[in-house]
Amino acid sequence: MQSVCILGRQPALGLAELESLYGAANVSSVSPQAAGLDLHASDVEFGRLGGSTRLAHVLAVAPTTDWKAVERQLPELVTELALTLPDGKIQLGLSSFGLRVSASRLNAAGLTLKKVLRDKVGRSVRVTPNPEPELNTAQVLHNRLAGPTGIELLLIATHNGQTVIARTTEVQDIDSYTLRDRGRPKRDARVGMLPPKLAQIIINLATGSAQPGTGTILDPFCGTGVVLQEALLMGYSVYGTDLEPRMIEYSGENLDWLDTKFQLGDVHMRLEDGDATTHQWSPSPNFVAGEAYLGRPFTTRPRAELLAQTASDVNLILKKFLKNLHGQLSSGDRLCLAVPAWQIGTGRFKHLPLIDQIGELGYNRIRFEHVRDEQLLYYREGQIVARQLLVLTRK
């Protein structure tokens, strides 16, 4: 294990994303909140990851989770790091994941390390205080703890009773995500608000270990173009279709806006009206990624009869789509679709019938080594309509 990722709000999605991109053999579940990678941090394309909030280079693995024993290792590690940093005030922070240590004890440890660096290395240090044991993403970003003179030490209690000590090298750019989500000129709550982070995960599950940025990604239900937007930022060509001409217009305006904000350069975009159950896509895409029709946007738990009818209606549309798509793909072509699953009780979901018929429709479902099928769900507490991620290949 050379590097570690801190996973997002739904860790299973981030773990599956890493496994999809880098292979099960190079990925491990370190803790409920972290994944280990047998790759140097410089070999991880962090900017395309939607399910990881931080990337860090592993410095050491302590054989214990006892805080006092872990704390004793920190002065030497921080001193060695400080000697490699460019001139300037060092920004120092500590984040604990799963260790039995309070924020106040972490603050005390930070002040001790500040004194060590001043006395042994002659460096000026600013310590970011811990209101909680874990610094949040905004604190790491705005205090430049992942910058050239930043040291955020991640202290991660592992499943097997060890402690990974790592230095953060990259952190999610929450300001950019906010811009890409809320700054777009065209948004429409009636067709759902697909978060850019989830769009990234869907794309990465669809493309797998293919060379980054090569080929064309099709979103057959493109809506306002969030998947297309994130695919363009990854370097892919994009092809978007939607049943509603208004959505194609919105996608076009949003992608033009994206180009002005991020200077995309020479990219290929294709947008056209099309019913996904009958449309003929030309040329054929390399990958398919998108959020399918989710049905009615329930805000309270519906009656059983209404839910059954909604599920049946969505199921019929998506079966027609998959049958139409099947004849236009080559064997082995890969796709990831977000489809609806309805929460009918705490942690209990009603799924589409077609999920049990994937083989009959001409597809194989990709299974992940580190994540179970039922964990590939995106939802918030109390939300009725969840997004279930189906990762498939054409037979």
- Using the structure block, give the residue that is written with the tokens 């390399």: 286
Average pLDDT value for residue range 123-151: 97
User: At 200, which helix (H) or strand (E)?
Assistant: helix 196-207
What is the structure's pLDDT at 53?
97
Are both 3-172 and 176-394 of the same fold?
no
Give residue 34's pLDDT band: very low, low, confident or very high (50, 70, 90): very high
Quick check: 70 and 62 in contact, CB under 8 A? yes
pLDDT exceeds 80 at position 64: yes
The pair of structure tokens assigned to 46 is: 């962090």
Give residue 211's pLDDT band: very low, low, confident or very high (50, 70, 90): confident
pLDDT exceeds 80 at position 277: yes
What is the structure's pLDDT at 347?
85
* Degrees, nearest 5: CA angle 47-50-52: 85
3-state class of 325 per DSSP?
helix
Give the pLDDT confidence of 307-366 residue by residue, as tens digits.
Answer: 999 999 999 999 999 999 999 999 999 999 999 999 998 889 999 999 999 999 999 999
What are the extents of the domains in the chain?
3-172, 176-394
Give residue 189's pLDDT band: very low, low, confident or very high (50, 70, 90): confident
For the whole model, what pTM was predicted? 0.96
pLDDT exceeds 90 at position 111: yes
Whole-angstrom distance, CA of residue 118 vs CA of residue 79: 10
Average pLDDT, the chain: 96
**Please, what is the angle between helix 174-182 and helix 196-207, to 10°?**
100
Whole-angstrom distance, CA of residue 115 vs CA of residue 281: 64
Give residue 266's pLDDT band: very low, low, confident or very high (50, 70, 90): confident
Whole-angstrom distance, CA of residue 124 vs CA of residue 73: 21
Query: The CATH number of 3-172 is which of 3.10.20.10, 3.30.2130.30, 1.10.357.10, 3.20.20.190?
Result: 3.30.2130.30
89: which DSSP letter? Answer: P
Q: Which fold has domain 176-394?
A: Rossmann fold (3.40.50)
Quick check: 62 and 188 in contact, CB under 8 A? no
Give residue 192's pLDDT band: very low, low, confident or very high (50, 70, 90): low
Give the pLDDT confidence of 159-186 residue by residue, as tens digits.
Answer: 999 999 999 999 999 999 999 999 999 9
Strand partners, 378: 387
First to last CA, the chain: 35
* Nearest in space to 63 (alpha carbons), one of 166, 165, 162: 162
Query: Which three-class secondary structure string do you get for 10-52?
Result: CHHHHHHHHHHHHCHHHEEEEECCEEEECCCHHHCCHHHCCCE
